[in-house]
Structure 1
Amino acid sequence: MFIKSTASSSDWSGFTLILPAVSAGNVGQLSSDLLISTLDLTKAGYLHDASILPLCGNDPFGRSGRTEASLVTSAEVYESKERKLVVVQQRTPLVKGAQADFRKKLLLWIKDSKFSRVILLSSSHSHERTDSQLTGSQFRYLTTPMLEGELGTVLSDQLQWKRLEKRQNQWAPPLANEEGRPECARGIYIPGGGVAKRLFDDCCLQDVPLAILMLFCSEGDNIPDALTMVTHLNQWLKLVQEPESSQTPVRSPWRIPSSWNMLYGQHFDPSIY
């Protein structure tokens, strides 16, 4: 599944893997863009599998002053040896009906690469929230028992993050969708979250140290959601230096990739009006 570049290593013992879920508002993918661009990560290779829709395009992280030309594919892997960090950017959705096969191969790659922990960046439809989720922070997290045992109360007490509330899927008969699910994953409902829910099930069953970070959001301009996501991630991993709140003006530490200049297409010609 993973095709490495010439200079890359496939042994990432002690590294943290960050994955985006193709989910509501593409928050995970936009967040990966910010991480790769800001941390200036090096391309380590790409994921190639029939379960991922193909894509080929120009380098979305090109900056002025860089002369080399490079192409990107549908799922690429970037790394930072200094930070012991690997970030995947998945640019296309999965082939219909291929999610289970994708998750199986993904978990095999995670285990073979010896990652110390996995963080999945996802999102969920805001119109599916319960009454108690309508106010307050729209950020939630989940951890598998394996990772929770390693972290203790760091996320809940030290960072004051709120765990995703459990509930029964309101569109299904009681417990109909819970058959075969591990106990720790029962009641987890992430509509619009892509592979998040089932990957959490798999990681609970296979003792993979996984954390899911997610936001409730709506489709539209989701750049603010991505900035919220990476800010929360940075509170945990300390990837970049956040500016002091007393600074005026406060400058964002996140570098916007050049590809975002065309996020909504080309600018229109005002003369047409």
Structure 2
Amino acid sequence: MSAFIYPLASTSTAPLSFKGSTLILPVVSVGSAPQLAVDLIINSKDLGLRKVARIDPNYCLPFIGPSERIQASGSQDENDVCTALEVFQNLDALTVVQQRSPVIKSQEAQFVSELLAWIRDSEFKEVLVLSSIDAAARTDAEFETPLLHLTPIGQPSRVNSLSERLSKSFPAFEARPPPSHLVPRSFSSADEKQTIPLIPGGGLTRKILRAASSSGLEADTGAVLLFCGEGDNRGDGHALAKVACTLVGSQPKGEFEEPPSWSSLFGQPIDQSMFG
């Protein structure tokens, strides 16, 4: 196992393996909808995900916080903490990364390179990238759907593959002239010719998919993009979590239960009686 990822000593005596499993990878993007979706997924008792490793946090802005992980006894694990990048896995060959802090700008290229190398060396079967896109960049036609999909160029077509399921479920995200206020300073005319279009508010999504296109990644890879803005994005998190679980075939039996930390993050819902 490379220095990019550190297995937890308490998980198992057997070597950690991801071969043949499906990876859900959230990207820090507008509204943090991917992180909220993964919060719901890893908090689901039906899916049975447990923390198995940490990814080197030095790529990200410093972050640490209390853990919400529950022990086998049913009590909270007071010896555990949350860090910027963590890996969860269950017995159904589902692997989920949670990223709670953005990657440092100067570390982006190195992080994407190490991330793709880990995915390639781990021999994942599928990689579903969760991302959001600024709702202000929506075209008239895209008001008919809150979700779009995007896949790396050059992937071999496979029956019932993730990319095929994405293309059948959601319209493709296509390049368009971006609003001037959403264009990064580093954006040039050459970028318009790239195979992966600019994704307003999409964080590292574009760089990850571009790297996947050129790295010869064997894992079937695709991204689902949710239009949203900044604010109380709990609803976006629920919507994206349901879509992600449907795409990877790991639906929980009941509704997603929100983790306790959300009550501190967004506060309690507004009492509707105050409006009469």
Interval of TM-score (by shorter of Structure 1 and Structure 2): 0.7 to 0.9
Q: Secondary structure at the match of 2:149?
A: strand
2:88 corresponds to which residue?
A: 78
Shift of 1:62: 4.5
1:47 corresponds to which residue?
A: 55
Shift of 1:5: 1.3
Q: Distance in 2 between matches of 1:234 and 1:50?
A: 30
Shift of 1:61: 4.1
* Alpha-carbon distance change, 148 to 241 in structure 1, aligned in 2, over 3 angstroms: farther
Q: Distance in 1 between matches of 2:138 and 2:20?
A: 36
Shift of 1:29: 0.5
| Paired residues, number | 249
Contact 1:52–1:95 under 8 Å retained in 2 = yes
Contact 2:40–2:257 under 8 Å retained in 1 = yes
Contact 1:53–1:93 under 8 Å retained in 2 = yes
Is 1:149 the counterpart of 2:157? The answer is: yes
Q: Distance in 2 between matches of 1:167 and 1:125?
A: 14
Q: Distance in 2 between matches of 1:96 and 1:228?
A: 29
| Partner deviation per Cα, 1:19-43 (whole Å, 9 max, x = no partner) | 1111000011011101101123111
Shift of 1:148: 5.9
User: What pairs with 1:76-225 in structure 2 (closer than 5 Å)?
Assistant: 76-80=86-90, 82-133=91-142, 135-145=143-153, 147=155, 149-150=157-158, 151=161, 153-157=164-168, 160-169=169-178, 171=180, 175-178=189-192, 181=194, 184-185=195-196, 188-208=197-217, 209-225=220-236
Task: Identify the range of structure 1 (57-66 vs 27-36) with the bigger mean alpha-carbon deviation.
Answer: 57-66
Question: For structure 2, which runs of at least 5 residues remain unmatched after alignment?
Answer: 270-276
1:245 corresponds to which residue?
A: none
Q: Distance in 2 between matches of 1:128 and 1:102?
A: 27
1:31 corresponds to which residue?
A: 37
Q: Secondary structure at the match of 1:97?
A: helix
Contact 1:145–1:207 under 8 Å retained in 2 = no
Contact 1:5–1:44 under 8 Å retained in 2 = yes
TM-score, normalised to structure 2's length?
0.81
Question: For structure 1, which runs of at least 5 residues remain unmatched after alignment?
Answer: 243-251, 268-273
Contact 2:67–2:77 under 8 Å retained in 1 = no
Q: For residue 260 of structure 2, what is the amino acid of its counterpart?
A: S
2:237 corresponds to which residue?
A: 226
Percent of pairs identical after alignment? 31
TM-score, normalised to structure 1's length?
0.82
